[in-house]
Structure 1
Amino acid sequence: MTSYSSGKCCFQGKRHEGSPSGDIIKIRNIEAYVKYPENASTESGIILLTDVFGHRFINSQLIADELAAKGYFVVMPNLFAGDAVALDEADTIDFAKWINGGYSDTKQSHLPPAIDPIVEACIVEMRTKYSVKKLGAVGYCFGSKYAIRFLKAGAVRVDVAYVAHPSFIDKAELEAVAGPVAISAAEKDEIFPYAKRRESEEILEGLGLPFEITIYGGVEHGFAVRGAPNDRGVQFAKEGALSQAIRWLGEFLQMPRALQ
């Protein structure tokens, strides 16, 4: 793998404060948090793929709102069929049991056979019903795997990806990308440590596509979405990662380029 599978650090973090202003709707039969830009345009879209805390987690909703404020139509789908992790129960969760559906009433897993159809359905709906012309994927932790999986050649795909503190990404998935990739990485990350960052860099160099990997010093896995709000160093890195995402998406979704 170019990043290790999720671990305990993927279930830790702090809740942020704010007032999300998007809506919960259905995309086909999938619940999603949706936020339109001020001009209501859907020409440039982002599918935001969350960490294990899901689409109703306030931290992720606030990020979706910030991306929409930059001119994007943002769709953040429910990836977990009602089985997202609750922050106040995260310390009791066994990852292997959770990802295999052990806590779910339906016993549905949270592996690619279950997640891929959700992401695919939302991408198709965004391209067709909502007429999105350029589509980016933003993935945090768990969601980063699927941002990468859908940045590939094929009928159902995104045009560009940004991921933060990625987890669970197979080497073959990264080798298959067919568009620009940006990564925000934490210096102190057991899931995406130095060796995996270097391996990912070598793979992306070999592909010859635009990419960047930015390391944020002094922070740990999860900083870009659920870092401690009262730690200025963590928040500085979080703000930097979001700025990186916005700059990257702006370059490849909103500016005419020969690559597109």
Structure 2
Amino acid sequence: MSGPQCCSNPPSLNPSSGAGHVEQLGGLSTYVSGAPDSKNAVIFITDVYGYEAPLLRKLADKVAAAGFFVVAPDFFKGDPYVANDPNRPIKEWLQEHGPEKSFDDGKAVVEALKSKGISAIGAVGICWGAKVVVALAKVELIQAAVLLHPSLVTVDDIKEVKAHVSVLGAEIDHMSPPELLKQFEEALAAKPEVDGFVKIFPKVSHGWTVRYNVEDEEAVKCADEAHGDLLAWFTKYLK
């Protein structure tokens, strides 16, 4: 994740974006959208830019509109990565915000959701967030997972998941190239107890699902297709 691709097309953060609101959940400031009385929840674990990205919140709202209680916690605790900051390159930022450090925060969010009476929980891992989601999936804290252009996830990680996993990747991606995703697919195929799905979207780059140009018709179309796949996965395994 040291390359520039993971940090391309940085969003303009907007703390007031989205149809939902921010509240405390599991000890973290969390963007919340959807019906709180839903028994099905989806956790968004974001890329390095965090939970104030408008297109991320737009996707969260889209999932919420389908009947899910959606939460996007601020795993970076007010300190998202700032693109092109010469004083703090991504490698340095990652030393303070490694995904392995966020597993406990993720677990606390899951427990907070369960305390609200939610019975089925899924998680979306976007780029950086995919590593955290996989960690939750290994210990059966969630029932279903969707990884959007994952970073840092290994074949060994995939071999250990116990939740149903959908991996939506990009053809042009140095973080998780198609060859690696094919290995994910093989690892999932060897696990009959979980359903695995891997799809490589042609002609798109890492980050295309939440960092696309809203004025580019083709970019919007590709993002929408991935969003539809994500929603179908959670509808299948959480409802």
State the TM-score, normalized to the length of structure 2: 0.92
Cα 1:113/1:243, change in 2 over 3 Å: closer
Q: Deviations over 1:70-99 (max 9, x none)?
A: 10001111111221024xx34645221110
Partner of 1:30: 28
Partner of 1:213: 198
Deviation at 1:164?
Answer: 0.7
Provide the C-alpha distance between the structure 1 equivalents of 2:157 and 2:206, rounded to a whole number of angstroms.
21
Partner of 1:106: none
Provide the C-alpha distance between the structure 1 equivalents of 2:231 and 2:153, rounded to a whole number of angstroms.
22
Deviation at 1:10?
Answer: 1.4
Provide the C-alpha distance between the structure 2 equivalents of 1:114 and 1:49, rounded to a whole number of angstroms.
13
Q: Which amino acid aligns with 2:56?
A: S
Residue of 52, 56, 61 corresponding to 1:65: 61
Matched, 1:117 2:104: yes
Provide the C-alpha distance between the structure 1 equivalents of 2:79 and 2:235, rounded to a whole number of angstroms.
33
Residue of 212, 219, 228 corresponding to 1:243: 228
Q: Per the alignment, in what secondary structure is the counterpart of residue 224 of structure 1?
A: coil
Paired-residue identity, %:
26
Q: Per the alignment, in what secondary structure is the counterpart of residue 223 of structure 1?
A: coil
Instruction: Decide whether the 8 Å contact of 2:170 with 2:178 is kept in 1.
Output: no
Provide the C-alpha distance between the structure 1 equivalents of 2:177 and 2:125, rounded to a whole number of angstroms.
18
The runs of 4+ residues in structure 1 deviating greater than 3 Å are 14-19, 89-93
Cα 1:44/1:13, change in 2 over 3 Å: same
Instruction: Decide whether the 8 Å contact of 1:14 with 1:228 is kept in 2.
Output: no
Instruction: Decide whether the 8 Å contact of 1:144 with 1:167 is kept in 2.
Output: yes
Identify the range of structure 1 (69-78 vs 227-236) with the bigger mean alpha-carbon deviation. Answer: 227-236
Cα 1:14/1:227, change in 2 over 3 Å: farther
Partner of 2:72: 76
Deviation at 1:136?
Answer: 0.3
Residue of 3, 8, 24 corresponding to 1:7: 3
Deviation at 1:14?
Answer: 5.4
CA RMSD, 1 decimal: 1.9
Partner of 1:104: none
Q: Which amino acid aligns with 1:181?
A: V
Q: Deviations over 1:194-245 (max 9, x none)?
A: 2201111111111122111111111100000101222222211100000000
Deviation at 1:139?
Answer: 1.1
Deviation at 1:67?
Answer: 0.8
Matched, 1:94 2:85: no
Identify the range of structure 1 (8-17 vs 52-61) with the bigger mean alpha-carbon deviation. Answer: 8-17
Cα 1:223/1:179, change in 2 over 3 Å: same
Q: Which runs of 5+ in 1 are unaligned?
A: 101-108, 255-260
Q: Which runs of 5+ in 2 are unaligned?
A: none
After TM superposition, list the pairs within 5 Å mapping 1:167-246 onto structure 2. 167-208=151-192, 209-246=194-231
Deviation at 1:147?
Answer: 1.2
Provide the C-alpha distance between the structure 2 equivalents of 1:227 and 1:90, rounded to a whole number of angstroms.
18
Deviation at 1:48?
Answer: 0.7
Provide the C-alpha distance between the structure 1 equivalents of 2:211 and 2:178, rounded to a whole number of angstroms.
22
Residue of 139, 142, 152 corresponding to 1:158: 142
Provide the C-alpha distance between the structure 1 equivalents of 2:220 and 2:99, rounded to a whole number of angstroms.
32
Instruction: Decide whether the 8 Å contact of 1:189 with 1:221 is kept in 2.
Output: yes
Q: Deviations over 1:178-209 (max 9, x none)?
A: 12111111111111112201111111111122
Greater relative contact order, per chain length (Cα 8 Å cut-off, separation 6+): 1
Cα 1:85/1:202, change in 2 over 3 Å: same
Provide the C-alpha distance between the structure 1 equivalents of 2:173 and 2:90, rounded to a whole number of angstroms.
17
Provide the C-alpha distance between the structure 1 equivalents of 2:128 and 2:85, rounded to a whole number of angstroms.
17
Provide the C-alpha distance between the structure 2 equivalents of 1:236 and 1:214, rounded to a whole number of angstroms.
16
Provide the C-alpha distance between the structure 2 equivalents of 1:201 and 1:224, rounded to a whole number of angstroms.
20
